[in-house]
Amino acid sequence: MKESNLPKGPNREKKRLGRGEGNGHGKTCCRGHKGAGARSGYSLRAGFEGGQMPLFRKLPQRGFSQARFRKPCAIVNVADLEKVEGDIVDMVTLKAAGLVRPNATKIKLLGDGDISKSFKVKVDLISNSAKAKIEAAGGECSL
């Protein structure tokens, strides 16, 4: 890479510390006198307020988040099944059709849209409306 090929834009020269008093970054090198911030290896923890009780600890705890316990699940709608080649719908065929990501572990079939073809569906979870539409088209569902 040459200097003429360097990217243009908001690139700024590095602050040159400890090169004398004249440039304004000498002596303490913008770190102040003593304390943790003046030491090497110090990094401020998120939410740290200099020893004062942090705001997130002052506020009351409210509610409960399911996010820690949720098991992720790929979503496929009934209308998307038209893209699947063949009449069998399972993890392998959905991945091959590009309807779910290659790293998906569970699949849930939802009932958005309509289908005309009959399918043999084998997925982890299925909504009642999707099951009704598949069976109405002459297909069958199994979990």
pLDDT in tens, 71-89: 889 999 999 999 999 999 9
User: Containing domain of residue 122, as a range?
Assistant: 68-142
Does residue 106 form part of some domain? yes
In total, how many domains does the chain have? 1
Calpha distance 83→101 (Å, rounded): 15
At 87-121, the pLDDT tens digits run 999 999 999 999 999 999 999 999 999 998 899 99
Task: Say if residues 125 and 109 touch (Cβ distance below 8 Å).
Answer: yes
Q: Give the C-alpha distances (Å, rounded to integers) separating 20 from 32, 37, 38, 56.
A: 15, 21, 18, 41
Mean per-residue pLDDT, 111-140:
94
Is residue 132 scored above 90 in pLDDT? yes
Does residue 113 form part of some domain? yes
Q: Say which amino acid occupies 39.
A: R
Calpha distance 123→81 (Å, rounded): 12
Calpha distance 11→97 (Å, rounded): 44
Does residue 78 form part of some domain? yes
> Residue 62 has what DSSP assignment?
-
